[in-house]
Amino acid sequence: MKAKITEHSIRLFEQKGFTETSIQDIVDSIGATKGTFYYYFSSKEQLLMDIHMDYITKLLEKQKAILSENGSCKAKLHALVLMLLESIKTEKAKALIFFREIKNLSGEKLELILQKREAFRFGVEKLIREGIEVGEFAGHLDANLTSFAILGMVNWSYQWFKPEGRKSAAEVAELFMDIVLHGIEKA
């Protein structure tokens, strides 16, 4: 039942937004009572936190696996970009909620998610630093700013990326990597 509540909530939050979706809307969508909701979640914010935590935990696990692989920094960066696009493709509603609805978390819940987001960003920054050190990436780069730029470009794609569109996740990842590695200036 907890999974069913979460699944229906994700759809409602995607369609109506977190603040416009009531607990009554959620329980009505599954034919349950508010008591059932409160058996599994202490509040609507706790439900939102669980959705955020599930999404970022999976991303961190996938990032850890990619970063621990053998291979070049470029290959790992490409794998990270593709993984993020694939997660947006396969879990579009969760991605949308993760990026759009964070403003509805507060206190310790917000702080925990922000820490996990920062841990993910730091993983990208560390990879950029390593790439600079081994000579794969330009030595003048600011690894901190570069990690924000890459994640900003990729994460914003939840707004416009359509997996059924004219470009696949792999093709978008290739284009992003070309922009990151070569820029847009004509050689």
Output the pLDDT for position 87. 93
Output the pLDDT for position 20. 97
Output the pLDDT for position 89. 87
Output the pLDDT for position 110. 97
Q: How far is CA 8 from CA 78, 89, 98, 130, 165, in A?
A: 33, 19, 16, 42, 26
Rounded CA-CA distance 187/152 in Å is: 25
Q: What pTM was computed for the model?
A: 0.92
pLDDT tens by residue, 44-69: 999 999 999 999 999 999 999 999 99
Rounded CA-CA distance 72/78 in Å is: 10
Q: How far is CA 138 from CA 91, 131, 144, 176, in A?
A: 34, 8, 14, 17
Output the pLDDT for position 165. 87
- Specify the residue for token string 């990597």: 177
pLDDT tens by residue, 93-112: 999 999 999 999 999 999 99
Torsional sign, CA 29, 162, 80, 144: negative
- Average pLDDT of the residues of the chain: 95
